[in-house]
A and B are shown apart, each in its own frame.
Chain A
C-alpha cells in the first residue's frame, strides 16, 4: 500500500502553525510512518514542487513570488488545507490592508519602497487559489490538526466546528468572564477549536480562532459598548488577528474611525 504524500508549505507567517506538527512529540514519528512527507523545510525535507496528495499551507500571501508559488502548490497538490489564521484569513499581518496603511507604512519604513516586493495586501490563500479545507486558529490547535489529518487518511472530510466558543467554555466549566467579571470576551462571536483557553485562564477571548457561524457582531458590538469600550477599542476587538475574516471586517469598520486613534 502506498502511503499518502503530504507537504507543508510556508508563506508569510510566524512558523507557529507548523509547530503543530513539530510539537506533536511521539505523534510526529507516528505520522511520519503513516504518510510520506515530501516537503517540509523546517523538518528538513525540501522538494517544493513535489506532487502530493495533501498540502498544508501556513501563512498569508503577500508578495508576487508567493502568489506564483501558491499557484504551483495548487497545481501540485490533490488537496490544499490552510493551516491557521494567516493562511485562512490573512492573519495579523493583514492589518496592513486597512485603509491603505500598507503604502503609508512602506513610505515611512523603507528608504526605497519601490523595491519592496510586497503586494499591497496580505491575503488569505483562498484569495488566490481554491482551498479544500481550512483550519483556523492563531495558532491552530495541534490536536485539531492531527484529527483533520486522521479524517483525511480515512478518506473523509474533517469536522469543521464553527460553533461559538461559549459552547466549549461551558463544557469546560469555565466561569464566564464577561458575566462574572465584565471582561470584553469575544467568545460569543468566535469559533471553537482552542478549548476555551482564555476564559479558563480568567481572561477574555481575543478571537484568535476567527468568526463563528452566524456570529451576531452587531449585538456583540453593542455589548462591548455597554461594557464601556470606546468605539476604537471595539473596532480593534474585531480587527486583530482575523481582521479580514468576513463578519469581523465589516463589524470592525462600523466602529473604526481612523488610525485607531482614541476618541
Chain B
C-alpha cells in the first residue's frame, strides 16, 4: 500500500475514467464564478490548469498563470462538507390521510458513490471530525451512506494561501491519513500513493510507472516548503482552559464591534455541524417534508428559547463560536475543531482572523494551560 508510483500528467484522465467505470460520480476542483469549487468533472480539461489564488482576510481572487499544474491553489470556499453534510436536505416526510392518521417515511438517500479528486489534508481532517459527530454514536443515516460511498483522492498541498495555518494545527499540508489515494503534483505528473485497499485497486488500474527517487524527494520538499511558508498559527492547539478563563476579556467586545454575525465563518468551516430543522408542507397540507439546513451559532434561532435569547448580542455569538471551536470541542471530540484551513479568515466579509483574535485573547496563555 505504501509503494509510490508515478502517473504522467497526460495520463491523469485515466484516473477519472477508472473511477467512473467503477460507478463513481467524479467531483473535482473547477474555477467557476471566481473561485475554486468542487463540482462534477468528466474531463481533466475542466480542472483549473495554471490557476492560482490570492487570499487574505476578507479577500479572495483567482489569477491565471502559465504553470501546467492543476492543483496549484489553496482551498476555495468549500470542499467535502457540502457533499456529505448537505446544506439542505429532507430527513423524512409526514403524510396525513383523510382520516387524520399520520404516516412517516424516511427520505430516500442518493447512494451513488462519490469520488472527490483534489481533497486537501485539512479537509480530510475535517471530514474525520464530522464522521465523529455524525457517524460515531447516534448515526445520521444519510451522512453515513454518503460517507461509506466516498472515495477520496487527496492532493498534498504545495500552495498554501496567506490565510492557511494547517501546519500549526497539525492537519496539513501533507494528507496523513483518511484518503484512498494521495497525489503529489509535480510539473510533469503525479506521485501516487494508495491509502486504502480500494485505493490500491484504483492505483493498480492506472498507467503508472515507478516513481523516481528524485520525484519523491521533490514531492516531499514541496510539501515541506508549503508548511514553512505558512505564517499564521494559533497560540496553542488546546485553548480550552485559556478561553474559558477569559470569558470577560475586553477583546470580545472589540471583535463584536467588527463582526457582522453573518455566519459566513461557520458556513465555510469544514467542521461546523450545526443545523436547524423545519417543516415544508404542501399547500393542501396533506404532506410535509421535514427539512434540515445548515444553521450557525451566529443565528438568532440557535440560542432561542421561548421568550428568551441565550445569545442576544454579537459578542455572545462570536464568543460561543470561538470557545466552542477552539475550546469545548476538546471535551466533545478530544481535539480542537479547527483544522487550520483558513476559510473563516478569507471568507469573512470583514476579514476577522481567528488566529489574531485567539492571539489577542489567549496570546499570553502558557501553552493554553493558564
Q: Indicate whether A and B interact.
A: yes
Which of A's residues lie within 8 Å of B, judged by CB? 27, 30-31, 34, 146-147, 149-150, 153-154, 159, 162-164, 166-167, 170-176, 178-182, 185, 187-189, 202, 213-214, 216, 218-220, 222-223
Residues of A contacting B87 with CB < 8 Å?
A: 170-173
Residues 232-269 of B at the A interface (beta carbon under 8 Å): 257-264, 267-268
Residues of A contacting B264 with CB < 8 Å?
A: 166, 170, 176, 188
- Chain A: CB-nearest residue to B261: A214
The count of chain B contact residues (Cβ–Cβ below 8 Å) is: 47
B interface secondary structure, majority: loop
Q: Does B296 make an interface contact (CB < 8 A)? A: yes
Residues 16-61 of B at the A interface (beta carbon under 8 Å): 32-35, 37, 58-61
Distance, CA A147 to CA B264, complexed state (A): 27
B267 touches A170 (CB 8 A): yes
Distance, CA A24 to CA B180, complexed state (A): 48
Distance, CA A187 to CA B348, complexed state (A): 12
List 19 interface pairs A-B (beta carbons < 8 Å), by A numbering: A27-B283, A34-B283, A150-B285, A154-B281, A154-B285, A164-B260, A164-B298, A166-B260, A166-B263, A167-B295, A167-B296, A175-B33, A175-B37, A178-B58, A179-B348, A188-B349, A216-B314, A218-B257, A219-B257
Residues of A contacting B261 with CB < 8 Å?
A: 164, 214, 216
Distance, CA A213 to CA B301, complexed state (A): 10
Which of B's residues lie within 8 Å of A, judged by CB? 32-35, 37, 58-61, 77-78, 82, 87-88, 257-264, 267-268, 278, 280-285, 293-296, 298-301, 312-314, 346-350
Residues of A contacting B88 with CB < 8 Å?
A: 171
Distance, CA A170 to CA B312, complexed state (A): 23
When the two chains form the complex, which single residue of A173, A181, A188 contacts B262, counting CB atoms closer than 8 Å?
A188
A185 touches B349 (CB 8 A): yes
- Chain A: CB-nearest residue to B86: A171
Residues of A contacting B349 with CB < 8 Å?
A: 166, 176, 178-179, 185, 187-188, 223
Residues of B contacting A179 with CB < 8 Å?
A: 58-60, 346-349
- Chain A: CB-nearest residue to B260: A188
A166 touches B262 (CB 8 A): yes
Residues of A contacting B78 with CB < 8 Å?
A: 173
B33 touches A202 (CB 8 A): yes
A216 touches B267 (CB 8 A): no
- Chain A: CB-nearest residue to B350: A223
- Chain A: CB-nearest residue to B56: A179
Residues of B contacting A153 with CB < 8 Å?
A: 285
Residues of A contacting B350 with CB < 8 Å?
A: 219, 222-223
B257 touches A180 (CB 8 A): no
Distance, CA A171 to CA B16, complexed state (A): 28
- Chain A: CB-nearest residue to B61: A180
A173 touches B314 (CB 8 A): no
Q: A188-B349, A219-B350 are in contact. Are A167 and B294 (CB under 8 A)?
A: yes
Nearest CB in chain A: distance from B125 CB, A = 21
B284 touches A30 (CB 8 A): yes
B77 touches A175 (CB 8 A): yes
Q: A170-B263, A173-B87, A216-B314 are in contact. Are A146 and B283 (CB under 8 A)?
A: yes
Distance, CA A27 to CA B283, complexed state (A): 7
A162 touches B58 (CB 8 A): no
- Chain A: CB-nearest residue to B256: A216
When the two chains form the complex, which single residue of A173, A181, A216 contacts B37, counting CB atoms closer than 8 Å?
A173
Residues of A contacting B285 with CB < 8 Å?
A: 150, 153-154
